[in-house]
Structure formats: structure tokens, C-alpha cells
């Protein structure tokens, strides 16, 4: 199969209560990506759009068709992918395959979501539809509750006191906000302190308010092209060299793997194997930090830290720029924001920018980054990973 | 790219108010497809699941993950496709590409929906989210209303009196019910008459009750495999020789093409070109008859009838077994039922059965059928087509 590259990226501001519709936000990010690719809408051969709950937020299903029309990409195949928070990452992985196979040369992929309109003020309850509605939802499972449970299990399994773990988790959030301040698209541009995290109100023990990412409105998109086309369009192609995806079913039932997430280990191994790379080759990573404990668990599942040790690394600054492995230098879901169906595209946008070396002016460039990893968790059972590599 | 075949198919009964969940219905159809393929769940490398509105019907998003788990397909990539009624067809097309590319050898694809739970008794209003929520929904657009409008436009454009058109439309429904009686999976197993159609209550002028398909609960699934694998598994592989997909945005705005549907013409041309075949090569067709007028419009858009002439052909029996081109011998959406996200997989199931010659006992086999066409319309702007060919 052919090599595949990302040749352009676009990203809206992430915010509470955007005045734009999901179609409009996607179109905004997409036009930036198309323009940056030196393309016109008519050059786009297919569109993959991630979206979680457009019906609940806007009364809109199959928005991808209206997106194609609004963009001026008339009569192309436009496909919606729904894998909860991993929707856009799955759509990008799929786009990469269609291009790699030789069927298409140029595909637009991304995601969009008005998560703050998703049944506000009941967004957490609405989004709990990403749990198993037969077994987990009737038991009252929500995502803060589930990740709170994982934090308790983590504390117990690795014999780290809850007090210590809470400090480490707080450090994760503090770091994310520190970098989010420098990201012009971030929803929260303010620094926080460990003390502030630990004095916040309890959401779901042991997770306090600032252990939790927000819901956000926003969109992001990338243009995926064959190597041959990419070389004509840009002198900074970023190649998609590995992809992985796995569904583990309801995580709450996988007691042997908790607080690890089996789907992540399966998915990232696919991506590493496909790329012929390993965790030691990753220069920069955007991982799914829906909660501070989720960052710690993800870094371990991706092989970027030993099991039970990721919190130490955050505490020691090893996940910062200049550290062992810079993680979530965008501000992550925590500070940049989390528009469900757009998040994977936003993570991909960030890694492309890092690998192109374009974040110097924002004061958050990882020097010499050549290989980046995207990690997105969908609901309580889907993982999708991408490994990107500078030319 | 490699040749790709369907090696097994499965189909639940279609009905009102199924006692099963969407996950359970999919698993039922999928296990039949897997067993028929002489495979085990562990052989499935990926799952593509079409679903329209699981959140509204069951409070469930990302059901594909729970489907994978329930089937025993642990940690495979499981992906949900949402393109309204075309969801499953899009998922099957995508599966065909992943196998054609050589990335996977065996992919399970299908769809599931509890459409009768979709906000009953307001299902039509709920499903109107498949219109553009910015422009069409606020104007009160629903699908019966939209297709009623198309019928009026059709009558006017082709200078066919509304009285005559209503008789032709009635013939479409009568034929569908006649064959539906013989389909063990059909929701409605009773014959109707032209008089009965014309004396039904008016839903949206000129469409009367029996011009409209029902909402249904059900699922269908197929196993897609590479040619090499297929030849080991079955002596009746049915090849996917052509696929097409297009999104035309909101149809109501495409006055130049109404009452034709531009996306269909683009999509089916892709499929014909890919297959190296034309309308004259099609032996049997399942097309998207959400309303009787939709059948007439679809047959013309697919090239199976001249514009303005399809109603004549139904009236003359040319769309029956033994006629020019047998259409919707399953009973179609009208009589077999229409579980939104499952419909495309159900149509594919039917064509596979026809091309294998397995419907003799049901009294609805199209003798000698070698090439079949699937046509699915999603919402008011997405078309997906598949062309299948017996070995």
C-alpha cells in the first residue's frame, strides 16, 4: 500500500457555547486545512466526519452530507464516524486506508461537536450513553464515576496512597493548564496550582473539579493525501506511518485488566508494529486525558511509562517539554477543551504542528520532534491510535 | 486491489417492538452470517456497524464496542457508521475497501436499529433529524412531506396526472406486499390491493398510508472476505464488484435535479464504472422504497427505467419476477420493513440470496440472476450503491 501524509490542518477555537453550528465549525476548520494544503474544495474526493451526538445537541444526524454541500465538495462520499470521543481519530484512520489503498488521492477528515449544547446542564448524563445501556447505565455509571473507580483501583493495585496519587493527578492538570495558556485555540487559558486542584469540589471520589476536562464546542480537520500528491502540495508532509484501533466492550467488566485498558494495549501495538517503531521512538504525544487519572493510565498503556510509575514522571517534569516524553503540550482535553467528536482531529492537528516545528512562537515547541503519537479513548471501550512522522 | 466477496449473511425477523436490544439483534444476525461462513467469532478481524439513532431509541452510542464484546470478537476494531438509512450500506462499502486493500482478510459488516422505539409515537418527527436542522427542520420538513412534494413535482415534470401517478404508486406497494408475504423475515405478510392503497388515509398529499414504509426493528449482517479466503470458505461466493457513494446535501435545495436525486446518479455511476457494467446488466435490484414514489424515482436514477416511465413499468409487471428487471423481490422497505440503520445490510442479504439461487423454496427466486444492485438512500442527501456478482 502507498504511503499517506497529512498535507494540511485546521482547528477552530474550542469554547463554551459556540454561536456556530457543528456544520459551520467543521467547515471553518476544513477550509483552513484545505487552504493550507493549497487545494480547493473541488479537489476533495471524500469526507470523513467524526461526531458523537449531533442529534442531541442540534437535532441533526448525517451532518456530513450538509458539510460536503456547505464546503462546495459536491456529491462526494461523506461519511460520519461515531465512536464517542474517538470518532474523529477513527475517521482519520479510515481516510488513511482509503488513500493508502489507492482508491482516493485526497480525503478530508476531522470532527465536530457542540458538546456544551449536549443536553446542558445534563451533559454528563447525556454522554453516559457511551456506557453500555443494558448493564452500566442502569447502575448509574457515568464517566466521572468510572474514572474515579479507576483511580481507586490504581491506588490499590500499585500501592500508592490516595493522597499521593491525588497530588500526582493534580500535577497532570497543572501541567496541562500551563501549556494551554500558550495555545490560542484553548478553552481555558489560565494557570492553576496543585493547591487549587486539591481544594476544588469533589466530583466523583477521588476526582475533584480540576481533575476533570470540560465539555467544549469546536472542530478540527486534516487533509490526507497520497505521498505522490503530498510532495506536490507541501514541503512539510507529515506521514501517517502507523494506525491502530480496538474495542474492548465495557471496561467495567474487564476486571483482569483494570485499571489498565486492554483495548489501548492492543491498538497501540498495531500502530507500533505497522510503523516499525516502539514507545522509545515517540518524541511527543497527545493522549486522552478526559480525567487526570486517565492521563496516567494512558501513558502506561502506551508504553511511555512503567505501570504504576507515570504519576512519578509527571511529578518530576518528565512529561514536559525537555523531559523524557512531552505529553499534551496542547493543553490536552483538560485545558484546550474536549469537543467529543472533534477531539481526535484536534490531537492530530497538534502533533502535525509539532512535527512541522511550527509552535516556536507559541513557546511550546518540542525541539526536534520527528515522531508523534495520537491516543484517543472513545466511551469506555474504544481506542484509536495514530503514529505520525515528519518527512 | 484484491477481489472481495460476501461469504455469509444473516438477518433477523423485522418487526414492530422487538424484545431484543440493538446489540442483541446485531449479534443474532451476525452469528448467522459467521456460522454460514464456516467461521468463528475469533476469525473476524474488524466490525462495521450501521446504526442511525441508538441514542434516541435505547440511550446507546458506540454500540459497536458492545457488539464486538457480546459476539466474542474481543479487541477488534469496531466502527459505527451513521448515514441515516444508508448507514449499513456505507459500512459494507467501507468493509469491502479494507479487505480489497489487503489490510484485513475478513470483516463483519451490517446494521441494527430499533426504529419503533425511536421516540414512538413521534418517530417521524425524530427521524426528521435526517433533514438539515438549520433550514429544513425549522420549516417543518419531514420525510413523508418531502416525498409527497417529490410526487407532485414528478407528476408535473413528466406530465402524468396525479390520479394516474397514484395508481402507479399503488402498484408499487401492491407488488411489494405480494412478495413480502413470501419472505419469512418480513414485517407485513399480507397482500394489499390498489383499491386499498387508494382508500387509505392521506399522510402527506399525494402519499396515502400504504404508499409509506413502516418503521421497524431488526438487524442484518454479512461477512466480507478476500477472494482467496472466500474460495476456502464457500462454493458460492458473491463478489462485490462495484461500489459508489455520494452526498448531495439537502435535496430540497437542488431544484434543478428534483424530482431526480443527483447523489444517486453520481453514486451508481461510480459503481457501474468500477464493475465495468451498466444498468442493462442488472438481473435483480433492491432499491430504497421508503415511499412508493421513491421506488419510481430510484429505478429511473439507477438507469433501470427511462425518466418518467418507471411507473408504467411497475404497472405492466416489468418490475416483477419474469419482467424486465425484478425490483424489491424481498418485499422492500414497504412490506419487509425498514429498520433504518439495518436496511442496507438487509438489501445486501437479499441480493446475495438471489445470486446464490436460494429463494426457490420461498417462491420468489429470480431465475438465473447473476448480477444484483443495492441502492440505499440516507436521509435527504446520501446514496450508497453496491453491485454484487455471482461467481
In tens, the pLDDT along B172-210 reads 999 999 999 999 999 999 999 999 999 999 999 999 999
A62, A262, A263 member nearest B83 (Cβ): A62
Q: Is residue A249 part of a domain?
A: yes
What is the predicted pLDDT for the residue at A125?
87
| DSSP state letter for A201 | P
Rounded Cα–Cα distance for residues A373 and A248 (Å): 21
Which residue is it, cell 424481498?
B330
B160 found inside a domain: no
Task: Specify if A257 maps to a domain.
Answer: yes
User: What pLDDT, on the 0 to 100 scale, is given for residue B177?
Assistant: 98
- Cross-chain Cβ contact B134/A23 below 8 Å: yes
Phi-psi region of A260 (alpha: psi -120 to 50; beta: other; left: phi over 0): beta
Question: What rounded mean pLDDT belongs to chain A?
Answer: 96
What CATH number should be reported for the domain holding residue A250? 3.40.47.10
Catalytic site positions of B: 85, 338
Q: What is d(CA A267, CA A246) in angstroms, rounded to the nearest whole number?
A: 5
A35 — pLDDT class (breaks 50, 70, 90): very high
Statement: residue B59 has pLDDT above 90: yes
| Most B CBs within 10 Å, among A52, A62, A376, to test the B interface | A62
Confidence at residue B122, expressed as pLDDT on a 0 to 100 scale = 82
At residue A213, the pLDDT reads: 97
> Residue A247 is nearest to which of B65, B102, B249, comparing CB atoms?
B65
**CB contact at 8 A, B151 and B140:** no
Q: What pLDDT is stored for residue B121 in this prediction?
A: 72
Identify whether B217 is preceded by a cis peptide bond (ω within 30 of 0).
Answer: no
Whether pLDDT at A121 is above 80: no
Report the residue from A81, A134, A250 with minimal CB separation from B81. A81
The secondary structure of B333-377, three-state, reads: HHHHCCCHHHHHHHHHHHHHHHHHCCCCCCCCCCCCCCEEEEEEE
- The catalytic site residues of A sit at 85, 338
pLDDT value at residue A229: 98
Kindly state whether residue A295 falls inside one of the protein's structural domains.
Answer: yes
pLDDT level of residue B255 (50, 70, 90 thresholds)? confident
Count of domains in chain A? 1
pLDDT at B158 over 90: yes
Assigned domain for A196 exists: no
Range of the domain at A61: 4-121+214-390
Report the pLDDT averaged over residues B216-245. Answer: 98
- Rounded CA-CA distance A29/A43 in Å is 16
3-state SS of A156-190?
Answer: HHCCCCHHHHHHHHHHHHHHHHHHHCCCCCCCCCC
CA distance linking residue B264 with residue B297, whole number of Å: 10
Report yes or no on A306 lying in a domain. Answer: yes
Query: Mean pLDDT, to the nearest integer, of A308-315?
Result: 98
**Chain A hits for B76, Cβ within 8 Å:** 246-247
pLDDT at B384: 98
Residue A140 lies in a domain: no
Q: What is the pTM of this model?
A: 0.98
The answer on pLDDT for A179 being more than 80 is yes
Mutation for A interface: B82, B122, B126, B252, most A CBs within 10 A:
B82
Closest-CA distance, B248 to chain A, in angstroms, reads 5
A to B CB pairs, distance under 8 Å: 185
Comparing B138 with B363, the larger pLDDT belongs to: B363
Catalogue the E-assigned strands of A123-270.
202-204, 207-208, 217-226, 238-247
Read off the pLDDT of each residue in B9-29 and give the average, rounded to a whole number. 97
Give residue A252's pLDDT: 87
Q: What residues of chain A lie within 8 A of the CB of B253, using their CB?
A: 69
Residue B378 with chain A: CB contacts under 8 Å: 62, 65
**Contact between B66 and A250 using a beta-carbon 8 Å cutoff:** yes
| In contact, B79 and A245? CB cutoff 8 Å | yes
Return all residues near B160 (Cβ < 8 A) that are at least 6 apart. Answer: B154, B168, B308, B311
For A189, half-sphere exposure in the C-beta direction (CA atoms, 13 angstrom radius) is 10
Nearest-CA distance from A83 to chain B in Å?
5
Give chain A positions within 8 Å (CB) of B75. 246-248, 262-263, 266
Candidates B151, B147, B188; CA nearest to B166 is: B151
Tell me what pLDDT residue A159 has. Answer: 98
pLDDT at residue A6 in the model: 98
HSE (side-chain half, CA atoms, 13 Å) at A93: 31
Best CA proximity match to A293, nearest among A184, A153, A199 = A153
Whole-angstrom Cα distance, residue A323 to residue A171? 14
Does residue A254 surpass a pLDDT of 90?
Answer: no
Q: What is the DSSP letter of A327?
A: B
Nearest CA in chain A to B129: A60
Contact assignment for B266 to A75 by CB distance below 8 Å:
yes
Percent of chain A with pLDDT over 70: 100
**A136, part of any domain:** no
Amino acid at each position: 500500500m502507498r504511503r499517506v501524509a497529512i498535507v494540511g490542518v485546521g482547528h477552530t477555537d474550542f469554547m463554551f457555547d459556540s454561536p456556530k453550528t457543528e456544520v459551520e465549525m467543521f467547515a471553518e476548520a476544513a477550509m483552513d486545512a484545505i487552504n493550507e494544503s493549497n487545494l480547493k474544495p473541488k479537489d476533495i474526493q471524500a469526507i470523513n466526519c467524526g461526531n458523537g451526538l449531533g442529534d442531541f445537541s442540534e437535532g441533526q444526524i448525517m451532518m456530513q452530507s450538509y458539510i460536503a454541500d456547505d464546503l462546495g465538495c459536491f456529491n462526494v462520499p461523506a461519511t460520519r464516524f461515531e465512536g464517542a470521543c474517538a470518532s474523529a481519530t477513527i475517521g482519520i484512520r479510515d481516510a488513511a486506508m482509503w488513500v493508502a489503498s489507492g482508491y482516493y488521492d485526497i480525503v478530508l477528515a476531522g470532527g465536530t461537536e457542540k458538546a456544551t449544547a449536549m443536553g446542558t446542564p445534563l451533559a454528563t448524563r447525556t454522554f453516559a450513553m457511551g456506557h453500555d445501556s443494558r448493564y452500566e447505565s442502569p447502575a448509574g455509571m457515568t464517566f466521572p464515576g468510572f474514572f474515579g473507580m479507576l483511580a481507586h483501583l490504581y491506588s490499590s493495585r500499585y500501592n500508592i496512597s490516595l493522597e499521593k496519587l491525588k497530588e500526582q493527578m493534580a500535577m497532570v492538570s497543572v501541567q496541562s493548564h500551563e501549556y494551554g495558556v500558550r495555545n490560542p485555540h484553548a478553552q481555558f487559558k489560565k494557570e492553576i496550582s496543585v493547591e487549587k486542584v486539591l481544594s476544588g469540589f469533589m466530583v466523583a471520589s477521588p476526582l475533584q473539579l480540576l481533575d476533570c476536562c470540560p465539555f467544549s464546542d469546536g472542530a478540527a480537520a486534516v487533509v490526507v493525501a497520497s505521498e505522490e500528491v503530498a510532495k506536490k502540495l507541501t514541503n512539510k508532509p507529515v506521514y501517517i506511518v502507523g494506525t491502530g484501533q480496538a474495542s474492548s466492550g465495557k471496561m467495567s467488566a474487564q476486571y483482569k485488566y483494570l485499571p489498565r485498558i486492554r483495548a489501548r494495549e492492543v491498538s497501540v501495538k498495531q500502530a507500533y508494529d505497522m510503523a516499525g517503531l516502539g514507545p522509545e521512538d515517540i518524541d511527543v504525544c497527545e493522549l486522552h486525558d478526559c480525567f487526570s487519572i486517565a492521563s496516567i493510565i494512558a501513558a502506561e498503556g502506551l508504553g511511555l511509562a512503567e505501570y504504576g510509575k507515570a504519576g512519578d514522571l509527571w511529578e518530576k517534569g518528565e512529561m514536559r517539554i525537555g523531559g523524557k516524553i512531552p505529553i499534551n503540550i496542547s493543553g490536552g482535553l483538560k485545558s484546550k477543551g474536549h469537543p467529543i467528536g472533534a477531539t481526535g482531529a484536534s490531537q492530530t492537528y497538534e502533533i502535525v504542528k509539532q512535527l512541522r516545528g511550527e509552535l516556536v512562537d507559541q513557546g511550546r515547541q518540542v525541539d526536534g520532534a520527528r515522531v508523534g503519537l495520537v491516543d484517543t479513548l472513545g466511551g469506555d471501550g474504544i481506542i484509536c491510535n495514530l503514529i505520525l512522522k515528519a518527512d
